[in-house]
Structure 1
Amino acid sequence: MLRPNMFYGELKDSYLFYNIAQKTKKYLEENEGTHLYRMGIGDVSLPLCDAVIKALHEAAEDQADKSKFNGYMPECGAPFLRNAIAEHYRARGVQLADDEVFVSSGASDELGDILDLFDRENSSLIIEPAYPAYVDANIMGGRKIVHLPSGRENGFLPLPDDSTKADLIYICSPNNPTGAVFSKEQLKAWVDFANRNGSVILFDAAYEAFIEDEDLPRSIFEIDGARTCAIEICSLSKTAGFTGTRLGYTVIPHDLERLCMNFNRMWVRNRTTKTNGVSYIIQKGGSAVFTPEGQKQIRENIAVYKNNAKVLMKALDKLGIWYTGGKNAPYIWMECPDKMGSWDFFDLLLHKAQIVGTPGEGFGKCGEGYFRFSTFGSPEDTEEAAARLLKLLG
């Protein structure tokens, strides 16, 4: 008799952002024509930069020219894009070989797919509050999850100790949802722990481009010892506005091995079996991100989102509300006022100020009492939302 994957039955009934969508839908049905100030989901609001658009158009024209036409692309990524990404790392002092870079359809896809490399018996440590997909992907795979809580007392940046036991370790820095960023010393503690215990760190670097403090690491591979214990997964979604275009990359060093199995070679085998690669047009667009012109233009877009963060932080400072994130990340993680529950605060903002954010409880139990704002909205909406926060909570 066919058996479905029974682990799906252990998933929560509904997804965090589905719940938010249902609440906002109901509100709009009852308040037709109302404008909502959406600072919940982390989707970008600015279009792709000119350098990317130009490259996409040129690539589309190539597909109409027999001499330039491209069919299936190399499953692990086009050489021109793998080289561009590796050069980007090398310019920042991180030495990578081109074939240690794998092009993907986005970090979210890769964070789930990468689990193919590890036995189901491996346990996964997830620092909470956490991006919900980390938990759900491991539940679907039938893995034991070790929940490591964090809080205001450690800046939502916990470190391992002798009681910590896990085979896979999820680290997101800058963090989603808290916006907290691990220092080099803190990441070194995790790298040393992983190497001592034979663990592998899955380092989610989707928001690295938002780091402005030069002493904070943007890649796990800036840390000595990481090549023997880490995989880095990155995305162009927030870096360059590719949320609707879908492109990312994964770095797996040749040095990463366990039980005589080489994870770089394993991933080559996985990709050549399970994918037909990312489209030529999208990869050409992605390669433009790593040109001098592309880097300048995406920095201009990121500056808009970072200014949104400053507007929100200024309002929270005036209100005397504790928060983290914002400066080096596109998320602000605030403590709910008056010890309110995070869903209660969501309802208050929606009904009294028409602001949509994300309740911290949706990111794990220790997110209760906190709330996440995304800074990816328009400057106009962000200014108005900040004014409404001051009026409502002042």
Structure 2
Amino acid sequence: MAAFQAPSSISSSSSTFLVHNGFSLRSSKICPPRSRTWVLKCVAAPPNSETAHKTKVSRNENMAKLQAGYLFPEIARRRSAHLLKYPDAKVISLGIGDTTEPIPDVITSAMAWRSRALSTIEGYSGYGAEQGEQKLRAAIASTYYGDLGIEEADIFVSDGAKCDISRLQMLFGSNVTMAVQDPSYPAYVDSSVIMGQTGEYYNDIKKYGNIEYMRCTPENGFFPNLSTTSKTDIIFFCSPNNPTGSTASRDQLTQLVQFARESGSIIVYDSAYAMYISDDSPRSIFEIPGAKEVAIETSSFSKYAGFTGVRLGWTVVPKELLFSNGFPVAKDFNRIVCTCFNGASNISQAGGLACLSPDGLKAMGDVINFYKENTAIIVDTFTSLGFNVYGGKNAPYVWVHFPGRSSWDVFAEILEKTHLVTTPGSGFGPGGEGFIRVSAFGHRENVLEACKRLKQLYK
């Protein structure tokens, strides 16, 4: 499904573009009211099963194991249904973790310059290195891993961490076992299902067979009890965590690395929110001694620089990481990248290089601090209402407990009574039941208005 959401306002430059290209700004079909979201479904009507031609190609049986729709499109569907019911409502989204503030000018200027250069003989470039431009790989290595023994050759630039998760699953194949934090970002489990790594889905416990769900709760500090965790080939671990907002300490990550070394596992460490850390928690798994022999790290500019639409990330595969037969994991991942990918956009890579300049780092820091201020406002709101609130310190997510209640019911109650979109915790795994995730990505006036409505609902 492709979704088109009309912006809340159209700039003068955008207006000029639309008019000059034959679009009427007076047409409600082109420019819907600000409060509405228009969803365009790019699907054909299902044919009559009795008369339609059928191929002899069997459907991938693993696709049938996936439960309902992917979490965030399902939220978008429910939001659209709500808008049909309340067409004049001002719906505020604190659900999907999409950034809202403009990309700093120091970054967009670099992308604009690179874009204009493509119109010149001297500045044109076609296919680039699949692993990313050398200057950007070097800048990532020096900025984020300068004293950790990670070199530019260990870094693979991509079109985002989510895409790399799927490429890594392709690398591992269908015969591995995997573990995930519970709750966790749903792409880890869904990509595992599609690859055929899992068993059937058990609706009574809301779990797939052949996946080790590492329960993370307030009682264990959102870090799994590794002494009772079954050994698996692959361990997906995210810190700061999405959705709980919790961050693993140095001691905890040391335990995780030691666990992986003893069990012969590979950790896939998602550090997409590392720049939000404000205490002494590790920002990279490679800060832990021995991690280079057992870990891969994936990260992204999405939540740092507002690149959710620009698409740029990276994955670190250290040369020290070896398969059981001694073959370097990085060589196989390089083959996957070269087979499935032609490299990130040269324009987005110019933006990434600007992000890592002194001015770019400061600008990203300013945007991150803005979202952290939003987070503090949300945390204060729920705390003042008597809720148990987690996360929010080192991540742009607030994890709110509604004990004894279905998270989808809480989602529906908040949407129906306040016109606010949140995210139900159960969408992140069975461990998320009874919680909702509230995102701090939003314009300040919307965050303040949302908190005002929540206080009216739960006062």
8 A contact 2:312–2:352 mirrored in 1: yes
CA distance in 2, matches of 1:146, 1:16: 20
How far residue 163 of structure 1 moved from its aligned partner, in angstroms, is: 4.6
1:123 maps to: 177
Letter aligned with residue 343 of structure 1: W
1:377 matched to 2:432 = no
1:45 corresponds, among 96, 100, 108, to 100
Q: Which structure's relative contact order is higher, taking Cα pairs within 8 Å and 6+ residues apart? A: 1
Q: Say whether 1:58 aligns with 2:124.
A: no
The runs of 5 or more residues in structure 2 that have no matched partner are 1-55, 199-210
How much is the aligned-residue C-alpha RMSD, in angstroms? Answer: 1.3
Q: Which moved more, 1:3-12 or 1:228-237?
A: 3-12
TM-score normalised over the length of structure 2: 0.83
* Aligned-partner Cα distance in 1 for 2:145–2:176: 33
Superposed displacement of residue 316, structure 1: 1.5
Work out which of the residue numbers 214, 218, 223 in structure 1 matches 2:283.
Answer: 218
Displacement after TM superposition at 1:162 (Å) = 5.2
Separation of aligned partners in 1, 2:278 and 2:185 = 23
Provide Cα deviations, 1:142-171, integer angstroms capped at 9, x if missing partner.
113222222121122213115522110000
Match of residue 66, structure 2, among 1, 8, 11: 11
What residue in structure 1 maps to residue 190 of structure 2?
136
- Which residue in 2 is equivalent to 1:68? 123
Q: Does 1:291 align with 2:291?
A: no
Q: Is the 8 A contact 2:248 2:281 kept in 1?
A: yes
User: In the alignment, what sits opposite 2:255?
Assistant: 189
More helix by share: 1
Paired residues, what number? Answer: 391
**Partner deviation per Cα, 1:115-144 (whole Å, 9 max, x = no partner):** 122242110101111111111100001113
- The farther-off stretch of 223-232 and 338-347 is 338-347
Look up the equivalent residue of 2:123 and give its one-letter code: K
The superposition leaves residues 241-274 of structure 1 with CA deviations (integer Å, 9 ceiling, x where unpaired) of 0000000000010000021110111122222222
Q: Select which of 305, 309, 318 maps to 2:371.
A: 305
| Structure 1 partner of 2:202 | none
Alignment match, 2:266: 200
1:72 Cα deviation after fit: 0.3
Q: Per-residue CA shift, 1:213-265, capped at 9, x if unaligned?
A: 1x101100001110000000001100110000000000010000021110111
Amino acid in structure 1 at the alignment position of 2:401: E
Deviates more, 1:64-73 or 1:289-298: 64-73
Moved over 4 A (4+): none
CA distance in 2 between partners of 1:207 and 1:159 (Å): 23
The 1-side partners of 2:386 and 2:364 are apart by 33
Structure 1's unaligned 5+ residue stretches are none
Q: Name 1:86's counterpart in structure 2.
A: 141
Instruction: Indicate yes or no: 2:165 matched with 1:100.
Output: no
Aligned to 1:244: 309
SS across alignment from 1:246: coil
Instruction: Report percent identity of matched pairs.
Output: 39
Give the deviation of 1:90 after TM superposition. Answer: 3.8
Match of 1:209 among 252, 269, 275: 275
Taking the aligned partners of 2:228 and 2:99, their CA distance within structure 1 comes to 40
The question of whether the paired residues in 1 share the 8 Å contact of 2:322 and 2:328 is answered with yes
Note the alpha carbon deviations across 1:330-380, whole angstroms, 9 max, x for none.
1000101x6322111111111111111001111111211100000001111
